[in-house]
Amino acid sequence: MTEANAAARLQELTERYGKLDGEALLAPFVEREFPGRIALVSSFGAEAAVLLHMAAQIDRALPVVFIDTGKMFGETLRYRDQLVARLGLTNLKVLKPEPATIAAKDPDGVLWHSDPDACCAIRKVAPLAGALAGYDAWASGRKQFHGELRAFLPVIEASGGKIKLNPLARWSKVRIEEAFAARDLPRHPLEADGFLSIGCMPCTDRVAPEADQRAGRWAGRAKTECGIHFL
């Protein structure tokens, strides 16, 4: 879609579905509005299982896109495989950065330390941008209670000529916890060790239980987002 078409579609979709959330919002986008043209992008992080379970209830063949940056925790990769098997997801798409790009721009693997924005750009943003070229819409698990740039996150938005869906945008931490219990979902193993938001290993720290949900991401820096949600 062009930017203009996406903006027009956004208005139409918001009028029709803007008051919904969760499965009630995701289902019509998967089944009617964008059949075969929508993907779910997941980090398989601390809260990812809730949205992944919803997707599995709607369509186990929905494309689930995971970006393996080459800097992921081993626990995340194992948790990913556990959830895929547990939920019966049949269309996991694992993206990786281009080896030639890594060799040219991050040969020593420490770009995350000197320039985390550039590291995210080559290891996350570029792979996802290429993969999403074949879709008109995509969904993520972002939530308003994560704060910072997410505080006023809408459930439906448009960017880059695509519709972006945030089915859990208005959900609270309490509601997420209740969903884990009600759906009998396994937790990410690093949560018990103090990691409340989990991304790449070098840029993820433990935080106190009462701290901001994403305080451990790029701790000590002004950076709060990897950049994929600016696509």
Residue 135 DSSP symbol: -
Q: What is the pLDDT of residues 147-188, one digit of tens each?
A: 677 788 999 999 889 999 999 999 999 999 999 999 999 999
Say which of 119, 200, 203, 226 is annotated catalytic.
Answer: 226
pLDDT value of residue 231? 64
pLDDT value of residue 110? 96
- Specify the CATH number for the domain of residue 62: 3.40.50.620
Residue 5 DSSP symbol: H
Question: Is the distance from CB of 89 to CB of 60 less than 8 angstroms?
Answer: yes
Residues 84-103: what's their mean pLDDT? Answer: 97
200 belongs to the catalytic site: no
Residues 183-197: what's their mean pLDDT? Answer: 93
pLDDT value of residue 152? 84
Helix (H) or strand (E) holding 66: strand 64-67
Helix, strand, coil content of the chain in percent (nearest 5)? 45, 10, 40
- Mean pLDDT for the chain? 92
Domain count for the chain: 1
- Residue 216 lies in domain: 3-230
Whether the predicted pLDDT of 106 surpasses 90: yes
Which range has the worst mean pLDDT, 73-87, 138-152, 184-198? Answer: 138-152
Whether the predicted pLDDT of 4 surpasses 70: yes
pLDDT value of residue 230? 67
- Can you tell me the distance from the alpha carbon of 24 to that of 197, in angstroms, rounded to the nearest whole number? 26
